Amino acid sequence: MSCRAMGRGLESLLVSQALQALPCWADVGEVCFLVRETERNLPARRWLGDIAGLEDEAAPAGEVVVDRARFDEIPMPGGVAISVLGSIARPA
């Protein structure tokens, strides 16, 4: 996602809808993000910190676990439709 789009709520909407479209979503209790700090990912880490409830902190490097309910709370705005196409690659 472009830097200009970050911070406008699109990242939450896209991630939420992509997760909810997964066939296994009904069985998911938590979502684990693996975070690496780089020079350019501070906006993304701030977004993840917000979703994770870290109160105005960027997500730290390492594993950040977010309760699935946080994604269920993100509303889909009227007039927007998102489709998730393709398959999810699973780690070997």
pLDDT tens for 25-56 read 899 999 999 999 998 889 889 989 999 999 88
According to DSSP, the residues that pair with 63 across neighbouring strands are: 34
Q: Residue 40: how many CA atoms within 13 Å on its side-chain side?
A: 3
Pick from 34, 53, 45: nearest CA to 6: 45
Q: Whole-model pTM above 0.85?
A: no
